[in-house]
Amino acid sequence: MKAESIIIQRPDLQKPLQHLTFTVITIMAWTFWVSLWLPVITLIAWLLGLQDTYVKLGLIHPLHGAGDLGLILLIGLLCALAFGSWSMYNHLRFVGKQKRRGNRHIDVIDVAKVMGASIDTATHLQSNRRSVVYFTQDGYMSLASVA
């Protein structure tokens, strides 16, 4: 089995339950990844002298009482609700709309006129992927062929 077959290439064909399942799994994986960094963050905070920040903020230590911990969880839930609702609003607002306007085609003659170059030079610039342009002392442009 190829690795590409595991990944959904067409998310518009994905069922809502499947999308929700993968979203929950992704959130759990990120939570686990962040929890692996907590000892390092705690060490850095301790080295910076922030070991009793919870006391200075008037919070009770999580091991001594869960009253303030519940408040922190409630604030986190409210933040998640605010960001989630804003995300849903933007999704509903912009879903199905073209994000960028298409580029209009510019004629080779217009390109040559704007650049002050010949039509052959403008054609060469448009047809090649890479070109080297040199300018003479008089300000004229010359084009070097690139292999």
What confidence tens digit (pLDDT) does each residue in 65-115 have?
556 667 778 888 999 999 999 999 998 888 888 777 777 888 889 888 888
Residues written for the chain? 147
Same domain for 87 and 23?
yes
Residue 39 domain flag: yes
Residue 103 domain flag: no
Residue among 139, 31, 21, 12 nearest 80 (CA): 31
* Cβ atoms of residues 52 and 59 within 8 Å: no
Q: Which domain holds residue 61?
A: 3-94
Euclidean distance between CA atoms 27 and 38, whole angstroms = 17
Radius of gyration of the chain (CA): 29
Structure tokens at 131: 């070109």
Look at residue 3 and tell me whether its pLDDT is greater than 70.
no
- The pLDDT, as a whole number, for residue 144 is 73
Residue among 57, 80, 85, 84 nearest 69 (CA): 57
Look at residue 21 and tell me whether its pLDDT is greater than 80.
yes
Specify the DSSP element, H or E, that contains 25: helix 16-47
| Global pTM value | 0.31
Angle at 137 between CA 132 and CA 138, to 5 degrees: 105
Same domain for 51 and 90?
yes
The structural domain count of the chain equals 2
Residue 101 domain flag: no
Provide the percentage of residues in the chain whose pLDDT is more than 90.
15
- The pLDDT, as a whole number, for residue 29 is 94
Average pLDDT over residues 119-139: 83
- The pLDDT, as a whole number, for residue 82 is 95
* Cβ atoms of residues 108 and 120 within 8 Å: no
Same domain for 46 and 114?
no
Residue among 141, 142, 146 nearest 130 (CA): 146
